[in-house]
Amino acid sequence: MRREKLRELSPLDEPAAPQDLRARQLRARDLLRGDLEGPELERHVEESVLATTLRRALSWGRANSVFPATFGLACCAIEMISLVTPRYDIARFGAENMRASPRQADLLILSGRVSIKMAPVVRRIYDQMLEPKWAIAMGACSSSGGMFANYAVVQGADKFMPIDVHVPGCPPRPEALIYGINKVQRMIQGNPDPGWRRRYNAIGTEEWARGGVAEPTEAELAAYAAARERLGA
């Protein structure tokens, strides 16, 4: 197909005329000099100024430059490894920079079953990561022990470290893990997706449900009410 025809089909890709760029440059210069006034100034500000807070800008940057630790535990790791291939291309979400040192990573993906013997090692790696940090339990095994209901495997990684997102499946497909990473990104930006907790009106119940105490304390009740209010439940 000829180049002209291609251009015809995608007119939005047409480069802007050089005089347009010059006009914008002159407008920006006038703005800096303080020569722009009235509707011209308003239009320029609307077109080119984005206002936000430092905290939001910081979390936007963090969410889009997650450094996962290069760490695999079992079969799920093969799916995790494929994230960086062109087919799944985790670079689209800025998380392709897998780090071999926990001190340079801020996301730990537990990709596979955690044996009792391995749990202290995993915990040490997590502790060595610098704050702020996040963790994903990938697959049935690291989330709940999966099919290994026996003495050798930890029945859920949240028994020995905090987990932010659980990705179900055996193994979860790379797309599912990407979805989990997207959820972590939303958490980093202060906009977590409560998912089923919102649907089943269960926000905040997990803090004492697994703790072994029969009744929640006053502080837990207050935290529960605050969490529900924050999430609009």
- Residues binding ligand SF4 (CB under 6 A): 74-76, 112-113, 139-141, 146, 170-171
For 111, phi and psi rounded to 5 degrees?
-100, 80
Q: To 5 degrees, how large is the angle CA 30–CA 33–CA 36?
A: 45
As a whole number of angstroms, the distance between CA 69 and CA 129 comes to 9
Q: Minimum distance from CB of 119 to ligand SF4 (Å)?
A: 15
Handedness of CA 218, 221, 222, 223 (dihedral sign): positive
Closest CB to ligand SF4 among residues 75, 227? 75
Q: How far is the CB of 78 from ligand SF4 (least distance, A)?
A: 8
Q: How far is the CB of 143 from ligand SF4 (least distance, A)?
A: 8
CB nearer to ligand SF4: pick between 110 and 188: 110
Question: What is the number of other CB atoms lying within 10 angstroms of the CB of residue 182?
Answer: 15
**Pick 129 or 138: Cβ nearer ligand SF4:** 138
**Cβ-based nearer residue to ligand SF4, 156 or 204:** 156
Least CB distance from residue 155 to ligand SF4, whole Å?
A: 13
Compute the distance between CA of residue 40 and CA of residue 42 in angstroms, rounded to an integer.
5
